[in-house]
Structure 1
């Protein structure tokens, strides 16, 4: 490990060990999923043992080979867990000690079992039944197969009826961070954003404290270009009331750049140049923070300056579903604590790095210990 990175990790450890997180509050929404984590069987040895398909390419080839013939694909369920960008982000922030309120699709009128543990560490306000996702995991990524019918009930009318404008104003007034997650899978999300802008935000207390709002579009490829552009315009409108953070993975960043008509510049290795991509998006959108997190690194532009850190990458993750949401949790927590942009990126990649190795979100003490081990090349 280079000495400069080691020094930065140790400096962050010292800051975190002395940081007072008392009073950090957030309100997050609005999705909710029950996730089944699955492996695809390549060959079965016996009733208990099997070899898995290791890559998405192998899985795709297996399906293509069945064209005109049909085939049988066996999947093994590893676990059932809470899912959705909002719940995973919220669970990670709550593990860090944030006083968190969650509004979303967690089961209505009764909470789904997978969200009961979350309800013990967060205040939850459920307005609809969750979607369901088959998260098929491979060593090089994952294929998410969603069933979304129930998410049509996540709409502005239901939010006003079940939560109410007065409660929304109270929750947002008390919070440092507002998170609005998974635009792609919530068909009424843009209308919800309009409702917030028109009916809630004008009622917020005027305060010297700058609040943060974090957006995760969540793989907008399947949505119409016009809808995506409308969503981006609405996100820009939030700048009147908040410091706006837009978080994207690398694939999403390229898609949004293309929709915005930006030129995709490649480097000498014929790969998309991350720095140019993030900088162009930041210049075009004019938000407080544009943050992009590929698998092995993360970048942000804040106040016109570009920052990048390499993450603690592992080629053998235990769990990848939710890694991006854990990155977002670490980044947002650091921003809530008013750490530097670079320290915020390090907190993001450390949180996701711990998560993929341990299949759970870290506590504050655990991420500090992880940073120490990382600085010693011992993770």
Structure 2
């Protein structure tokens, strides 16, 4: 397990350099209700058998064609949701100073975001969206309502913050994470306006840009390719990282004209390398549930992950990976080290349903089974 011990040593040495670093994250916001689908109820409360897999759930739905059916979702918790807030909360726990801009509540910040807002500077643009996250043994279904995201524009950000304050926040940020492109209709326009109108006015400095598309299946190939091109323009102003889960990586890889590849170590390294080279980004990351790979201009890397067949929670696992990977980048770790902090942050979260502190992360690295 050399990659774990090497990462733990590097993390311990670099941790003091995290002081004073700032992350600016946005632009979404969800109220998530985590539920379990009920197959057979035997009593009240939690006295039921769950529908175990997405395939089983699909068969229940197909059986209702031409008829009707009743499906019960047993609520487990309401929690802060959205790619941005979950990543932001994980970064806060790692010890970064945070500025959040996003959909946290029209009149006042919604209660699920209050704890984050008490520890970070937050600007709310509109009401949050809502998601019912249906969790299965083999994945999850995210059932969302997100009409409020139509209101997220650069003009709204400037209306809420003022142009000088927004520019100061961008200038101060060591990490700028703009996530959930798929669900925010105006995000490509926001990207273009930032690269053409805002960042050219700001002082040049070393910064990391992190992008997460968030399942682009419902967007057209033309929309996806345009967004990927515009994301590349951020490379004039910092180091661009694109984070992709396996499904997203395969969608992007195909949209760029490549043929399907195996999902083993060699295939994952090649998918990341193909995408990175085609788009000329600094880094591309691919993270399935069981491992993670990345590509830079100099190398590719891969690490196995601390996969568990019985997670306590899965919604937000990818966002925690993103936070851990970005943490590694800010601390100057190697690509392998960044992957390891990514899978460890996610691994701790799915086992405990809690975002790890830097100390938790170090303990997990030393002890995971």
Q: SS of 1:273's equivalent?
A: helix
Say whether the 8 Å CA contact 1:37–1:78 is kept in structure 2: yes
Once residues 8 and 194 of structure 1 are traced to their aligned partners in structure 2, the CA distance between those partners, rounded to angstroms, is 38
Q: Which structure 2 residues correspond to residues 187-226 of structure 1 after superposition, within 5 A? A: 187-207=185-205, 210-226=206-222
- Give the structure 2 partner of residue 39 of structure 1: 36
Once residues 123 and 160 of structure 1 are traced to their aligned partners in structure 2, the CA distance between those partners, rounded to angstroms, is 16
User: Is 2:231 the counterpart of 1:239?
Assistant: no
- Give the structure 1 partner of residue 336 of structure 2: 342
- Give the structure 2 partner of residue 95 of structure 1: 93
Question: Which residue of 169, 180, 184 corresponds with 1:182?
Answer: 180
- Give the structure 1 partner of residue 358 of structure 2: 364
User: Is 2:10 the counterpart of 1:15?
Assistant: yes
Once residues 216 and 298 of structure 2 are traced to their aligned partners in structure 1, the CA distance between those partners, rounded to angstroms, is 26
Give 1:278 shift: 1.6
Give 1:37 shift: 0.2
Say whether the 8 Å CA contact 2:273–2:296 is kept in structure 1: no
Once residues 157 and 45 of structure 1 are traced to their aligned partners in structure 2, the CA distance between those partners, rounded to angstroms, is 53
- Give the structure 2 partner of residue 259 of structure 1: 255
Question: 133-142 vs 276-285, which deviates more?
Answer: 276-285
Once residues 159 and 95 of structure 1 are traced to their aligned partners in structure 2, the CA distance between those partners, rounded to angstroms, is 26
Say whether the 8 Å CA contact 1:36–1:135 is kept in structure 2: yes
- Give the structure 2 partner of residue 274 of structure 1: 268
Give 1:344 shift: 0.4
Question: 84-93 vs 48-57, which deviates more?
Answer: 48-57
Question: 323-332 vs 221-230, which deviates more?
Answer: 221-230
Give 1:206 shift: 2.6
- Give the structure 2 partner of residue 24 of structure 1: 21
Which consecutive unaligned segments of at least 5 residues does structure 2 have? none
How big is each residue's C-alpha offset from its partner over 1:232-263, in whole Å with a ceiling of 9 and x where there is no partner? 11001111111000000000011111111112
Q: SS of 1:275's equivalent?
A: helix
Once residues 38 and 228 of structure 1 are traced to their aligned partners in structure 2, the CA distance between those partners, rounded to angstroms, is 31
Once residues 112 and 141 of structure 1 are traced to their aligned partners in structure 2, the CA distance between those partners, rounded to angstroms, is 28
Once residues 107 and 198 of structure 1 are traced to their aligned partners in structure 2, the CA distance between those partners, rounded to angstroms, is 29
How big is each residue's C-alpha offset from its partner over 1:139-166, in whole Å with a ceiling of 9 and x where there is no partner? 1100001101111111122112112221
Give 1:272 shift: 9.4
Q: SS of 1:187's equivalent?
A: coil
Q: Which structure 2 residues correspond to residues 285-296 of structure 1 after superposition, within 5 A? A: 285-296=279-290
Say whether the 8 Å CA contact 1:264–1:272 is kept in structure 2: no
- State the aligned residue count: 366
Q: SS of 2:226's equivalent?
A: helix
Give 1:17 shift: 2.7
Q: Which structure 2 residues correspond to residues 108-123 of structure 1 after superposition, within 5 A? A: 108-123=106-121
Aligned Cα root-mean-square deviation (Å): 1.4
Give 1:203 shift: 1.5
Once residues 103 and 62 of structure 1 are traced to their aligned partners in structure 2, the CA distance between those partners, rounded to angstroms, is 40
Say whether the 8 Å CA contact 1:213–1:244 is kept in structure 2: yes
TM-score, L = length of structure 1: 0.94
Say whether the 8 Å CA contact 2:11–2:333 is kept in structure 1: no
Q: Which structure 2 residues correspond to residues 31-110 of structure 1 after superposition, within 5 A? A: 31-48=28-45, 49-110=47-108
Once residues 124 and 154 of structure 1 are traced to their aligned partners in structure 2, the CA distance between those partners, rounded to angstroms, is 15
Say whether the 8 Å CA contact 1:127–1:158 is kept in structure 2: yes
TM-score, L = length of structure 2: 0.96
Once residues 305 and 272 of structure 1 are traced to their aligned partners in structure 2, the CA distance between those partners, rounded to angstroms, is 13
- Give the structure 2 partner of residue 249 of structure 1: 245
Once residues 327 and 334 of structure 2 are traced to their aligned partners in structure 1, the CA distance between those partners, rounded to angstroms, is 12
Say whether the 8 Å CA contact 2:3–2:336 is kept in structure 1: no
Which consecutive unaligned segments of at least 5 residues does structure 1 have? none
Q: SS of 1:321's equivalent?
A: coil
Say whether the 8 Å CA contact 2:167–2:198 is kept in structure 1: yes
